[in-house]
A = this chain, B = another copy of it.
Amino acid sequence: MTDFLKSLSESAEAVNLTLERMLEMHDDPEAELISAMRYSVLDGGKRIRPYLTIASSALFNVKPERALRVAAAIEMVHCYSLVHDDLPAMDDDELRRGQPTCHIQFGEATAILAGDALLTRAFEVLSDDTTHPDANVRCDLVQAFARAAGPEGMVGGQMLDLIAEQCDLNMPEITRLQRMKTGMLIAVSCEAGAILGKATEGGRHALHAYAHDLGLAFQIADDLLDVEGDEKTVGKKTGKDEGAGKATFVSLLGVERAREQATMLVDQACEHLDLFGEKADSLRNLAQFVINRQA
């Protein structure tokens, strides 16, 4: 596991450098926008989604610099969603990864625009021919990202999450909500490697299935951290779901069964990787890491 943690942190470092280069500061009066984008995206997250892209790309011998660009685009989309999610009209969070959230630091208007700009820049990066020489691959990436992030994916899931505050969801409803809100972006992080590597349908499906199970396990682990985690280690407010009266996997299953469920999902996720052999060990290690993390 120490080797895995080293590889996770090396990959995070490479993603940060790529993001830095993609969001270069300048002297124009509107540079505050770039500052807010950098602040929101260069904040030392674990870069789990980018790692998925890098590790899945390695299965198909994709050039690392291409995988890195797509990994950075994924992180921009993820961070844009956090910035908007943290806004007062949404979750109204003041702390994120131990730092003031974007709107606390830069004001609400700038935070809205910084989120918009990160989303837009992600699509610019994906469609740029530096990302892949084959335009079909680039279009495939744009399509996959847009579907995962759009009204049938992440944004739809955020909408469901808003509604969930006013009604009690059951297990299938929560599963659907989480699949849309976080699962589909996690899935596209994995599938990106298959797209970049022009993998067979079988390879792409295996990664999709792995990511589907991983995404749910990831969410259960998040819910467990919200209940059991220490605010300082987690880097954001805990106990929020219970306070908001929100149904979660943990509130419905209880702590013990939720943990069992997460373990079962991770085992199941790893089985989908069998066809890749040892090459997929980094994805297997990531899955174990996801349910054992403390933050």
Residues of A within 8 A of B (CB): 28-30, 32-34, 37, 80, 84, 87, 89-90, 107-110, 112-113, 115-117, 119-121, 123-124, 126-129, 134-136, 138-139, 142-143, 145-147, 149-151, 155-160, 162-163, 173, 180
Contacts and interface: CB of A to CB of B under 8 A. Distances in A.
Contacts of A158: 113
Contacts of A173: 29
Contacts of A32: 159, 163
Given A113-B159, A121-B146, 8 more contacts: A29-B163, A29-B173, A30-B156, A84-B112, A116-B116, A120-B151, A134-B135, A135-B135
Count this chain's copies in the assembly: 2
B119 A151 contact: no
Given A135-B135, A142-B142, A150-B120, A30 B163 contact: yes
A176 to B, nearest CB: 9
13 contacts: A33-B155, A80-B116, A90-B112, A110-B162, A116-B119, A120-B155, A121-B146, A121-B150, A123-B142, A127-B127, A127-B143, A134-B135, A135-B139
Contacts of A116: 80, 84, 115-116, 119, 155
A254 B44 CA distance: 51
B129 A146 contact: no
Nearest to A107: B89
Please list the 10 inter-chain residue pairs (A to B) with the smallest Cβ-Cβ separation, ordered nearest first: A124-B146, A89-B108, A135-B135, A127-B142, A120-B150, A33-B159, A30-B159, A117-B151, A135-B136, A117-B155
